[in-house]
Amino acid sequence: MSQWKQIQQLQIKYQEQVGYLYDDNFPMDIRQVLSNYIESQDWDTAANHESMATVLLSNLLSQLDRQCSQEQNFLQRHNLKFIYQQLQTKCKASPLLMAGVISSCLREERRIISTASIQEQGPLEKSMQNSVAFERQKNMDNRVAVIRSSVQMMDQAVKYLEDMQDDFDFRYKTLQSRDPVDRNTEVMKQEVTRLQEMLNNLDFKRKENLSKMSDVIKEIDALIVSQLNPELMEWKRRQQINCIGGPLLTGLDQLQNWFTLTAQSLFQMKRQLDKLGELILKVTYESDPIPLQRPQMEEQVKYLIYHLIKSSFVVEKQPCMPTHPQKPLIIKTGVQFTTKVRLLVKLPEVDYQLKVKTIFDKNRQFFILTTTTKVMDVEESSNGCLSVEFRHLGPVSVTEELHSLSFEAQFNIQGINIDLETCSFPLVVISNVSQLPGGWASVMWYNLLTDEPRNLGFFASPQRASWGQLSEVLSWQFSTFAGRGLNREQLCMLGEKLMGTVQASQNECQVSWSKFCKENIHGKNFSFWMWLDSILELIKKHLLPIWNDNCIMGFVSKETERARLKDKEPGTFLLRFSESHLGGITFTWVEQSDSGEAKFISVEPYTKSRLSALPFADIIRDYKVITDGEVPENPLKFLYPDIPKDEAFGRLYNSQQNKGKMSQSCLDSIKLLLRKQHYWNVSLTLMEMSSETPSQV
């Protein structure tokens, strides 16, 4: 079943989540009308290769244009034409960006389908959702808006104060210009009294305004400490979880809006304080509150501006090799990778260049094919923020397991010197692609268990993970790399295999780093993660359609397998991954013995070398055995629980059925049966597929 059809069968709450993925950049109308084409292309690779992206998008536009001409509904045809025009412009302007958008949407669809199949979100995903709860965002929006409104009102108050002072100054200077002889007259005394009242009012207003400004500064300080900084930390945590396959990363634009509005309020308050400084140059007096309070308030505002902008310097895109877009934070010596930094505060228009310098492990060798410094530019981002992307970075040689990549910049704004520094999450550097599985295990373990940005000594004494946390991340690996996550039953089997026991509170069981990745499984020469990663590779390269059609039970023990099959119709079979081979898949079917008891027959696992020669669906179609010289037949009738074989796999069969010599799958099956003949008490014969009469063996 296609991915889009699976989405249409989801509950409404999951369909609504899918709806949030689509906007004007990639309308859902296109996803609907071109679903087959979109799902059949490799958008992940296209997102990192411009020529491939251009070709795929050109084909997409051609198909969309054809769909427009064939559409009978007038309104739908009009909408599709409009979308076609908009999309044509975007595809030409930035094919890589568009391919990336489509890739992200498809990947997140698979995650939602996977979540729906489990029917219960894991602890990590629940925490990620809670951290961006709607009510919390709403509260933040309201609080920022109230502060902005207060600062705007302070503008009016300072203007009113200036008008009061100008009025007082004018009357005072007028009085000063009078003839000294007239100063003792009743009129002059009244004028002096009036001036004193004006000065008292002016003093009262100055104190009132300063008090209000102090309250607003305290409110901004509290906002930054209690909400804005925690929201930023939560976003960084979500970014970590997204790096290891978790939910789609959102919220940075919202954070930028909050940071920018808060910074604008602070800059506006600094201008108001500057204005107060100008006012006392014209009018001041004994116990004037402005010279007493303004310096401290100005320092507070500068301090808040400094730290707000400093904290807004973030790594928007973690380091990632274009060849492995779904495995960030792993870089290979001699191979380029990309990364992107962003300033969340939209700065006022000033004449300066914000130059960003990359630093790798501070004192280690590092090369950049262009330059170590690049200028942040508004033009690189569609939302108007300052950002810069480094596309040609690469390490020379390193020795430790974890490494840091830092970014530094310096600039001055409105008299405030600001030193910016941020860093990526710790990197794993490899020298050979064979180290990729181990490197990815390190990335998963680190980002699962700590939110420290630069704990390079983490693996000197790595923390343990609860099975509840780890199982959720493992399911994400299958939804990210293979299109469909794992259900509770599959995860339970994995937990038993990893920990060796079945426990009622299995989710709370603690798993060590060594047990997960370093120690060999009992009786095997490979670790748990090596075994699981080999299965992921097998699915991705040879079994993807069958896996996504939910035809592979996959992770099931032999005991459970027999319990499932024993009461089924003869010829019922299921597919599971081998526990004894790296990257192997096998099938077992049930037959009925002469005594009426169920007997179970399994085949030797198929690995990537055999599946490279023949698709697995064709192996299942052509699998045949014969007994006692009878006409050979395929023993595989029903995919568990009771789906006719051709119904389950028919759409995946090659159009040209194997003819001539017996297929390798048939030979393999017979060899296996011959080896286990003493268990099954059957005689087997081979038949050359080109012969009309079977030949006895």
Average pLDDT score over residue span 231-260: 88
**Residues 79 and 198 placed together within one structural domain of the fold:** no
β-bridge pairing 427-430 and 330-332: parallel
Kindly state the average pLDDT of the residues 121-148. Answer: 72
Q: Looking at the predicted structure, is the pLDDT value of residue 330 above 60?
A: yes
**Pick from 90, 119, 148: which residue ends a domain?**
119
The residue ranking higher by pLDDT, 435 or 179, is 435
Asked whether the predicted pLDDT for residue 180 surpasses 50, the reply is yes
The pLDDT value recorded for residue 516 is: 92
Q: pLDDT grade, residue 369 (50/70/90)?
A: low
Kindly report the backbone phi and psi dihedral angles of residue 593, in degrees, each rounded to the nearest multiple of 5, phi listed first. -80, 170
- Segments forming the whole domain that contains residue 678: 555-655+662-685
| Residue 135: pLDDT band with limits 50, 70, 90 | confident
- CA 231 to chain centroid: 17
Write down the pLDDT at residue 434. Answer: 87
* Same domain as 257, residue 142: yes
Q: In this structure, is residue 513 part of a structural domain? A: no
Q: How confident is the model at residue 346 (pLDDT cuts 50, 70, 90)?
A: confident
- The verdict on 305 and 318 lying in the same domain is no
**Tens of pLDDT, residues 532-568:** 999 999 998 889 888 888 888 888 878 888 888 888 8
**Calpha distance 161→165 (Å, rounded):** 6
Whether the CB-CB separation of 140 and 227 falls below 8 Å is answered with yes
pLDDT at 110 over 60: yes
Q: Is residue 449 part of a domain?
A: no
Confidence of residue 504 (pLDDT cuts 50, 70, 90): very low
> What is the DSSP code string of 85-128?
HHHHHHHHH-HHHHHHHHHHHHHHHHHHHHHHHH-S--HHHHHH
Query: Does 208 lie in the same domain as 145?
Result: yes
Total-model pTM: 0.75
Per-residue pLDDT, averaged over 381-409, amounts to 73
DSSP 8-state secondary structure symbol assigned to residue 426: P
319 and 301 housed in the same domain: no
| 529, part of any domain | no
pLDDT reported for residue 138: 81
The mean pLDDT of 574-602, rounded to a whole number, is 86
Claim to verify: residue 156 and residue 297 sit in the same structural domain: yes
pLDDT at position 181: 67
Q: Are residues 252 and 182 part of one domain?
A: yes
Phi first, then psi, for residue 696 (nearest 5°) are: -75, 145
The answer, yes or no, to whether the previous bond of 641 is cis (omega within 30 of 0) is yes
Which among 293, 289, 265, 290 has a CA at the least distance from the CA of 277? 290
Query: Is 523 inside any structural domain?
Result: no
CATH code of residue 19:
1.10.532.10
pLDDT, residue 508, reads 77
Question: Which of 325 and 274 is assigned the larger pLDDT?
Answer: 274
Q: What are phi and psi of 142, to 5 degrees?
A: -65, -40
pLDDT higher than 80, residue 443 = yes
Write down the pLDDT at residue 662.
46
Between these two residues, 40 and 461, which has the higher pLDDT value? Answer: 461
Highest mean pLDDT among 31-35, 310-314, 673-677: 310-314
Same domain, residue pair 40 and 98 = yes
Q: Is residue 276 part of a domain?
A: yes
Least confident of 5-14, 152-161, 375-384: 375-384
CATH number (domain holding residue 640) = 3.30.505.10
Residue 502: pLDDT band with limits 50, 70, 90: low
Which of 2-6, 131-135, 245-249, 338-342 has the largest mean confidence?
A: 338-342
Does any domain span residue 439? no
Predicted confidence (pLDDT) at residue 294 exceeds the cutoff of 90: yes
> Residue 225: what pLDDT?
93
Q: Which of 296, 311, 326 is the last residue of a domain?
A: 311
| Lowest-confidence pick of 32-36, 152-156, 167-171, 608-612 | 32-36
489 has a pLDDT exceeding 80: yes
Residue 293 predicted with pLDDT over 90:
yes
Q: What is the pLDDT of residue 659?
A: 43
Q: How confident is the model at residue 689 (pLDDT cuts 50, 70, 90)?
A: very low
Percent of the chain with pLDDT over 90: 25
Tell me which range, 135-139, 362-366, 456-460, is most confidently predicted by mean pLDDT.
456-460
pLDDT for 684 beyond 90: no
Check residues 690 and 218 and name the one with the higher pLDDT: 218
Where does a domain end: 119, 150, 176?
Answer: 119
pLDDT surpasses 50 at 685: no
From residue 80, give the alpha-carbon distance in Å to each of 155, 171, 304. Answer: 49, 71, 49
User: Do 169 and 77 fall within a single domain?
Assistant: no
DSSP-derived letter for residue 371 is -
Q: Which position has the higher pLDDT, 224 or 662?
A: 224
Q: What pLDDT is attached to residue 679?
A: 35
Alpha helical stretches, state H, 385-540: 436-449, 467-481, 488-499, 513, 528-538
Q: Are 241 and 189 in a shared domain?
A: yes
Residue 71 lies in a domain: yes
538: left (phi over 0), alpha (psi -120 to 50) or beta: alpha
> What is the reported pLDDT for 308?
95
Specify if 284 maps to a domain.
yes
Q: What is the CATH number of the domain that holds 345?
A: 2.60.40.630
The number of distinct structural domains making up the chain is: 4
Mean pLDDT of the chain: 81
Identify the residue with better confidence: 49 or 569. Answer: 569
Residues 264 and 163 in one domain: yes
Question: What confidence score (pLDDT) does residue 364 get?
Answer: 58
pLDDT attached to residue 47 = 78
Query: Quick one: pLDDT at residue 440?
Result: 94
Structure-token pair, residue 691: 């012969």
What's the pLDDT at 675?
A: 45
Amino acid identity at 15: Q
Are 320 and 346 contained in the same domain?
A: yes
Phi, psi of 381 (to 5 degrees): -130, 140
First to last CA, the chain: 42
Burial (Cβ within 10 Å: 0-12, 13-18, ≥19) of residue 486 = buried
